[in-house]
Amino acid sequence: MLQSILVGLISVIGLCDYLTGTSMIQRPVVLGALVGLVYGDLPTGVIMGSSIELIFMGQMSIGGAVPVVTLAGCVAVAIAMQSGAGLEAALALAVPFGVLYSMLDNLHYILVQVFVSGMDKAAKEGDYKKYERYHWCAFGLWSLLYFVSTVICVNLGSTLVENFFNSLPAWLMDGISAGTKLLPALGFAILLNSIWNKKIAAFFFIGFVLAAYLGLDTIAIAILGASVAVLYFTLGSTELPDFSAPADSKPMLTKKEINNMFWRAFTLEASYNYEKFQGTGFGYALIPALRKIYGDDKEALAEAMSRNCVMFQTTPQCAPINMGITLAMEEEYSRNRDTMDPASIGAVRSAFMGPLAGIGDSIFWGILRTVAAGVACSLGVQGNVAAPLVFLIIFNVPAVFTRYYGAHKSYELGMNFVSKLSQYNLLENLSIAAGIVGLMVIGGMTSSMVWVSTPLVITAGDMAISVQEFLDSLLPSMVPLLTVYIMSKLLKKNIKPVVLMISALVVGVLLTYIGVL
């Protein structure tokens, strides 16, 4: 029971990802290690977590919809370790528990509306203290649901899973094992489809060749890709804009208020909901600065709070840029209330929301997380306990820099910040440069981390030909490459990832039974 409670607390730690600016602490490669500590076997926890991470590498939140909650991977690892069912069980359980926890999230989004309504009312009254309490109560409800559900699942599920897997025949277990080896190909296919760019598509195959023919590991390919990306960005950005603030500007907010907004922005999704999405968290982050701007004018503060507690959705790492621009406009409005339309503040916020999400999702979710996970998983599947730390460092160093620099510069320059980035094509060049790294890493991982092979042997008289050896003589890692290609094509036909995950397990069992896998 104690271990179940500890795993429940780990699930809450994972949920704190939404208090730390989606810093990726909820990913299986991180939580698997924590579960391993609970059960006294850190290397096994790292191996299981890293293996599940490969399956969910392509999992992204599109408009807030998450079909499979990757945080549930910690439950799969816990049950597999407690029951002694092994890695195959952890991989097989990750998908159904992920779906179960997505349903749990939907329940939370229904219940949390009580607090969202309270935040609306508090904003209209200018009661910022009550608004802040509701923001934290919303996260508290979420944490309670996860904790209780995880304790129940781990406590009851271990015995059931142990009995279930012990009752399975050997051929079926072998089939499940083969099916789980197909799952990383799905994760890579999702990623490939999300960042594919015909201009730089060749870099995917360069990464594949470096791994398949030269045997370079993911770390080496990532370093090489980063070098190429820096070269591309340097050559493509011949002139850089001047990001210094105007000499005659006299901002009302000091560095202290902007830093306060920067820190509060990490909790952007703590009160996430399906009515305003990140909007309630957006309003929470701005409260101290708005109080400074409007002073003792409670009516103006209430209007500003209501104006900024509306639907908002963008890449969390880019949100401080939008917040800085919003504060610059709120400050301008406080000085020119007779001539400036306050509706323009919301219009500009909405106008920048989409472009920032487009570039942010591509860089942070599609590319940076891919590189971080690729490097970490290459260590983790070997039981290297440094894998979670490597993952968090690679992802969060550029993420925190973007947040801090974006918050300060966007406030200093207002709307000119994003326009200057666009004017000098910095966003486009940065996106392509990051795409080069991402495609090379995915290409390399396709060769080194999709462990699909065939034991088929063709006999002709006294001669026996190994199909796998024949394929390798034509193109090393041909089967993994074809598997990723097939998954990519199926995804483009709008087949849902969850369906493909389940289908991969079924196909693995069938092909193993007839001797193909």
| Residues 472, 172: Cα–Cα separation, whole Å | 27
482-515: pLDDT as tens digits: 989 998 899 888 888 878 888 888 888 888 888 8
- Percent of the chain having pLDDT more than 90? 44
- Which residue type, as a one-letter code, is found at position 409? K
pLDDT attached to residue 418: 57
| Residues 27, 391: Cα–Cα separation, whole Å | 10
pLDDT attached to residue 307: 95
| Residues 89, 196: Cα–Cα separation, whole Å | 32
Q: Give the distance between the most distant pair of CA atoms in the chain.
A: 95
| Residues 5, 425: Cα–Cα separation, whole Å | 51
The answer to whether the CB of 180 falls within 8 A of the CB of 88 is yes
pLDDT attached to residue 62: 46
Does the pLDDT of residue 238 top 80, yes or no?
no
Length of the chain: 517
Range name among 171-175, 211-215, 507-511 with the lowest pLDDT average:
171-175
Q: What is the mean pLDDT of residues 90-113?
A: 87
The answer to whether the CB of 28 falls within 8 A of the CB of 77 is yes
Q: What is the mean pLDDT of residues 65-77?
A: 76
| Residues 58, 365: Cα–Cα separation, whole Å | 9
Q: What is the mean pLDDT of residues 146-172?
A: 82
Strand pairing category for 457-460 and 463-466? antiparallel
- Can you count the helices (H) and strands (E) in the chain? 22, 2
The alpha-carbon radius of gyration of the chain (Å, integer) is: 25
pLDDT: which is higher, 142 or 472: 142
pLDDT: which is higher, 404 or 503: 404
Does the pLDDT of residue 162 top 80, yes or no?
no
The answer to whether the CB of 320 falls within 8 A of the CB of 403 is yes
Residue found by looking up tokens 């698997």 in the block:
32
In the beta sheet, which residues pair with residue 277? 273, 312
| Residues 205, 208: Cα–Cα separation, whole Å | 5
- Which residue type, as a one-letter code, is found at position 184? P
Neighbours of 309 (CB within 10 A): 23
Does the pLDDT of residue 152 top 60, yes or no?
yes
Tokens of 300: 């103006």
CA dihedral 414→417→422→428, nearest 10 degrees, is -130
295-348: pLDDT as tens digits: 999 999 999 999 999 999 899 999 999 999 999 999 989 988 888 888 888 888
pLDDT: which is higher, 38 or 469: 38
Q: What is the mean pLDDT of residues 139-144?
A: 96
Q: How confident is residue 377, by pLDDT bands cut at 50, 70 and 90?
A: very high
Does the pLDDT of residue 249 top 60, yes or no?
no
User: Between the CA of residue 361 and those of 225, 243, 349, 355, what are the distances in Å?
Assistant: 20, 24, 18, 10
Mean of pLDDT over the chain:
86
User: Between the CA of residue 259 and those of 301, 320, 327, what are the distances in Å?
Assistant: 20, 10, 13
46-69: pLDDT as tens digits: 999 999 998 887 665 544 445 557
| Cβ burial, residue 219 (10 Å; 0-12/13-18/19+) | middle
Does the pLDDT of residue 464 top 80, yes or no?
no
| Residues 149, 128: Cα–Cα separation, whole Å | 32
408-453: pLDDT as tens digits: 999 988 766 655 565 556 667 777 887 888 889 888 888 888 878 8
Does the pLDDT of residue 243 top 60, yes or no?
no
Does the pLDDT of residue 405 top 60, yes or no?
yes
| Cβ burial, residue 192 (10 Å; 0-12/13-18/19+) | buried
DSSP H helical segments within 414-477, as ranges?
416-423, 426-448, 467-474
